[in-house]
Amino acid sequence: MNRTTVLGSTSRQGWGELTQWPLLGWVLRWRHARTTAQTVLLLLAGLVLYDGFFGPSLAPKNLAGTLPWVHWRGFVVLALLLAGNLFCFACPFMLPRRLAQQLFRPTRSWPRWLPGKWVAVTLLVGFFWAYEAFDLWASPLLTAWVALAYFVAAFVIDGFFRGAAFCKHVCPIGQFNFVGSLLSPTEVRIRDASMCQRCRTKDCIRGRFDANQRLVQRGCELGLYQPAKIGNLDCTFCLDCLHACPYGNVGIRWRLPLKTEMDPETLRSGIGHLHTRPDWATLVLVLVALGFLNAFGMVSPVYRFLEWLSQTLHISSEPALLAIVFVGALAALALAIGLASQLTRVLAPVPGPRWVATRFVYTLAPLGFGMWSAHYLFHFFTGALTLLPLAQQFVLDLTGQAILGQPAWHLASLLPIATTTDLVLIVLALGYFGSLVWTMQLATRYRLGLLAILPWIGLQTGLFVVGIWLLGQPMEMRGTLLG
């Protein structure tokens, strides 16, 4: 079995596989593609940090007040919905991570008492609470500090622990991308299962070594063994497996979103069974709740609600009030999931509410991601064109000369507001549809009648209605001078 023979025999995959496309395929197979993309994003991050620390304090006129909160978030969800986990592929935090790994050659394993996703879940809740409590989106300086802290954390953690500890256990952005990539139309996967059965070296996970046993290509640091890898969860799209496989048996394949992801009892390499992973279930619950909370934070009723809460509880501190709102929303969703599980238990002969919850909680993921996407795309479509005046302002501040012209602050929206509203509602509806499909699929899988899944359809429909209401409210035009 040699690489040439295999590549020849698999070339029939054609357009179904991105790595076979004429130009894109070459770029994706190029060993330095990822480092190049990461370097570009690192340079952009450098500009954001510089402007955040030294630029104007008014957020819409500062790269740190706009690029991360309007453009980058929009690109991330668009990429996840239309292509795949491109941000992790091009992640700039990987470069300090790699540097730390080369400098310190860490040998320690990630502590067993901090398993799975618990650290990342805690950081996610903490980050989004801080985002609202300290108006991170309105403060370029705070944004720059957060970005700097992120670089330092990636450097320290991967300088200390081996493998991809930061990506797998810590990075909140990564976990967001993993859950969002359930809906992506592509997947890194093997081409020919029989080839993996005949393969003796398993380089896709072990890595490839030269004659002197020096590592020349990493295998999967996330512990995903290609023949047993299911779906996109925990996959950073780093393509190390693609470069490591000596037979060219790994590619990026098109797929129907969710298609390979819906069975919580399938054994997934590197993850195990989803229904036995409370950390993954909690991650999904938290991301769904935060998706709605984060959108709630930008509509006008939130101020009336906080005022009412403040008067009722006699608490004037906004961070404290927001902490109460966050805990309340998370508890409310957990309670709703518990209630739906209990009702399903009453309506069908299933082992118990825990059995139901640990399987059906995942059906909320598409709707939750639909909410995130609708929210982020709203900001993106209403503020995308600010990129030009921001660049003009940056150059003007830096050089004192309008080399790119005077900032054209009248530029903001990419689409008319009515079109944007329609589009984001469609995105939310697609998420709702994904949740319904997943629920029906589980009903078929466990031979449950329609009555037994009605509580879940009811919960999803309720959240969908809340999402429509949120998107119908006047929203803050964050990141633009219209806000």
Q: Using CB under 6 A as the criterion, which residues of the chain lie in contact with ligand SF4 when the complex forms?
A: 188, 190, 195-196, 199, 202-204, 220, 222, 224, 226-227, 229, 235-241, 245, 247, 249-250
Cβ of residue 224: shortest distance to ligand SF4, in angstroms?
Answer: 4
Structure tokens at 318: 């906004």
Within 161-220, residue ranges assigned H as helices are 165, 172-180, 193-198, 203-206
Q: What angle do CA 184, 186, 189 make, to 5 degrees?
A: 130
The HSE-up count of residue 372 (CA atoms within 13 Å, CB side) is 30
Cβ of residue 269: shortest distance to ligand SF4, in angstroms?
Answer: 9
Cβ of residue 222: shortest distance to ligand SF4, in angstroms?
Answer: 4
Q: For residues 239 and 285, which CB has a smaller minimum distance to ligand SF4 in the complex?
A: 239
Q: For residues 202 and 273, which CB has a smaller minimum distance to ligand SF4 in the complex?
A: 202
Q: Is 312 helix (H, G, I), strand (E, B) or coil?
A: helix
Q: For residues 106 and 227, which CB has a smaller minimum distance to ligand SF4 in the complex?
A: 227
Cβ of residue 307: shortest distance to ligand SF4, in angstroms?
Answer: 46
Number of C-beta neighbours around residue 138 at 10 A: 18
Cβ of residue 423: shortest distance to ligand SF4, in angstroms?
Answer: 30
Q: For residues 2 and 109, which CB has a smaller minimum distance to ligand SF4 in the complex?
A: 2
Cβ of residue 229: shortest distance to ligand SF4, in angstroms?
Answer: 6
Return d(Cα 256, Cα 430) in angstroms, integer. Answer: 13
* Backbone torsion region of residue 400, taken as left when φ is above 0, otherwise alpha when ψ lies between -120 and 50, otherwise beta: left
Cβ of residue 174: shortest distance to ligand SF4, in angstroms?
Answer: 10
Q: For residues 19 and 480, which CB has a smaller minimum distance to ligand SF4 in the complex?
A: 19
Burial 277-309 (b: 16+ CB within 10 A, else e): bbebbbbbbbbbbbbbbbbbbbbeebeeebeeb
Contact at 8 Å (CB) between 77 and 180? yes
Nearest CA to 424 out of 468, 460, 475 is that of 468
Contact at 8 Å (CB) between 402 and 392? yes
Return d(Cα 335, Cα 341) in angstroms, integer. Answer: 10
